[in-house]
Chain A
Amino acid sequence: MKSILRRAVLAGAALLLPAFAHATDVRIMWYNDGNEGEVMRDLLDRFEKANPDIKVILDQVPYKAINETLPQLVSSGQAPDMARITDLGGQADYYLDLAPLLKDRGYWDKNFASVLPWTRPAGNTSGIFSLPTQVTVTMPIVNETLFQQAGIALPGPKATWQEWATAARAVAAKTGAAIPIAMDRSGHRVAGPAISMGAKYFDGDTPVLVDDGLKAMAKLIYDWHRDGTMSKQIWGSVGGTAYRGANEEFANGQVVLYFSGNWQFPQFAKTIGDAFDWHGVNTPCGPAGCTGMPGGAHLVAYKTTKNPQAVARVLDYIASEAVYEEYHARTLFLTAHAGLMAKGIAYRTEMPQVKKSLAAAAANAAALSPTAYKLQGYLRNRIMFNALIVRLNQAIAGEMSLDDAFARMTSDFADGLKAAGVR
């Protein structure tokens, strides 16, 4: 009896011990726009099954935690092993260079060449610091049902911002929709339209926030808040640098044209479905073009990780073509993978709204201005974006004139660069 008991205990210990003794934990801080957390967890479960020595913990947190809590953790040496971020260059000095750890860096260079520079620290031209988990392009999404109800045709692919505003106001007037145009409260969102209006953002390699192009777009937004084309409900309901989207208002059928980006598609497929006819359209034009802004979320690893090899194995797995394709097909995200872009992704959706939107996003991505790419790759672009949003919002609220707001944007940007140690 004693011998049977001893054998049972030993057998149990033999079964349990490897799980406790050898599994290396890899912790990822992750936020969601749509269903990507669910998809990633599913893919990681398969990875763990094939790699029992690595356990991947996916901490799914609100986007605000990525923007505000994560930078503190990183600065204080308490970063997770990896995180999904959107401020790509903001803390580039803390990212782990994955190049020497990856199985086949040639595969990464070949397929992700266009976006890898966005997470490189200043002066670094060859490191691999991230894997893109989503490519975004800022663009408008329309409620076509409202246009149909109003009997007004959608403006054409080369329509200007002013033409869209006129059409959206007319639709809202006829249908009773509360908000003709909504734009996320974000400097990144304003940047594309500003470039279309002629904003350069750089004088050579020197970043310059305020010029005539930016002033022209800022004036449009300011005027639209005054005449009701844009509702103060979006930009006016928060202060400081806080982000405020209009996705809920759009999903509730209150918005005619919503300038946001392709990351909203999976969410709208779920929240709106076919309740009304919504889809992405071509980005409105200005005198200098018809561009939005590129962007996206990347998965970065931090130098403080105790398990760089395990981190690289996880990233190699996610980046592998089949897994990467499945991730994008299920999340409905645009991809940065050159091979998959050439081959095309068979998105898993039957919704005509989503299919139409993805086609529009691909067209908008192809039309992005080089200035937009340069701005996206600029490490301190958030300082520009924040200065713009805070001061323009103050002007809209009536606290200062537009001219004063432009002067403050310039000085805020200079102060921000100085504080960040940039000369």
Chain B
Amino acid sequence: MSALGRLIDAPFEAVQRAIGAARMPYVFVAPNLLVFGIFVAAPMILNVWYAVTGGIQLMPGERPYVGASNFAELLDCDTFGVIASCRQDRFWRAVANTAWFVAFQVVGLVAVSLVTALILNRRMPWRGFFRAVFFYPVLLSPVVVALIWKWVLQPDGVLNALIVAGGGARVPFLLDPSWAFSWTVVISIWAHMGFYTLILLAGLQAIPADLYEAAEMDGTAHGRVFWRITLPLLMPNMVVVLVLGLIRAVQSFDEIFVLTGGGPGTATQYIVQYIYETAFANQTHILGLAAAASILVGGVLMVLTLLQLAATAWSKGGGVGR
């Protein structure tokens, strides 16, 4: 054993002698548990306390208990489905925006990632280079992504300069609600597709080549090969991409906040931004309301995670392509 090994070994041997070998696993996981406890578990417990207390005080001990009234305020609507009838209309607007964003972003993300993975899986010149190019945006900070796109899309930006040079009129890409929403979807897909493409590429490379050879010998059409071989065997990876993409889409905040600030109006204000603004950005920091909203979002994410587990188990059990 090296000198370093002996140095590390000595204290652990002493601990093992003191507590016994059976309890040693707890010693090894203790540092991780400590970090998890301080930075994840404790804030979660505190968040629950904030959700059931009122006032604007930051210190937990100074906050009066209000029961479920923060949840009641969030859910207080004369007519569900009519945002204007809700007391916290900005919360519901953020929920609706998030739902639309998730629907478009996730479908787009899975489709674009799949097509890209299929292309990058083919033999082609510069394949390594292109794989790196598609992964590159994932390495960028969300703030950098937002600033790059702001530079492209603002009224005097690159895209409008090209349109004007081509004889067209400026387009208010970030000032018109529909355009701004669409661009947040596109940019989010652009920024994250590299990661999901990689997962799908790994799945494609794991499909045995002899299946394709057999199909080729049988003269099977390309479309049929895709639907009957590629897609079913890729389904476990597709499920992972779908659910991870879904969870990430619900959590979207940083790049969109820098790009549009939630505007114009509230067209691109998603749920995490609502929580952030309610808790921190306004003069009156309504921490209880923000904590209650975050618990509701947490509940939705929990359901999505359970769906992921169920879907993964289903696809592993051969649920697809039978």
Contact = CB atoms under 8 A, between A and B. Distances in A.
Interface of A: 67-68, 71-72, 75-77, 87, 90, 178, 232-233, 236-242, 244, 380, 382-383, 386, 390, 393-394, 396-400, 404, 408, 411, 416, 419-421
Nearest 6 pairs of A and B residues by beta carbon: A397-B265, A239-B262, A238-B261, A239-B263, A75-B58, A382-B283
A399 B261 contact: no
Given A386-B283, A411-B87, 14 more contacts: A76-B58, A77-B59, A232-B172, A236-B263, A237-B263, A237-B264, A239-B261, A239-B267, A239-B268, A240-B261, A398-B177, A398-B265, A419-B56, A419-B284
B171 to A, nearest CB: 13
> Interface centre among B56, B174, B263, B267, by most A CB within 10 Å?
B263
Contacts, number: 111
A306 B273 CA distance: 36
A189 to B, nearest CB: 16
Nearest to A73: B58
B263 A90 contact: no
Contacts of A393: 263-265
B266 A399 contact: yes
A54 B307 CA distance: 61
A421 B56 contact: yes
Interface string B240-283: 00000000000000000000111111111100010001001111
A419 B172 CA distance: 37
A76 B56 contact: no
A242 B280 CA distance: 12
A216 B286 CA distance: 31
Interface residues of B, number: 37
Contact of A239 (B172, B265, B284): B265
B303 interface: no
B137 interface: no
B180 to A, nearest CB: 9
Contact of B273 (A71, A72, A240, A421): A240
Nearest to B64: A421
Nearest to A91: B283
Nearest to A71: B285
B284 A420 contact: yes
Contacts of B282: 241, 383, 386, 416
Nearest to A404: B84
Contacts of A233: 154-155, 175
A383 B280 contact: no
Contacts of A394: 265-266
Interface string B179-198: 00000000000000000000
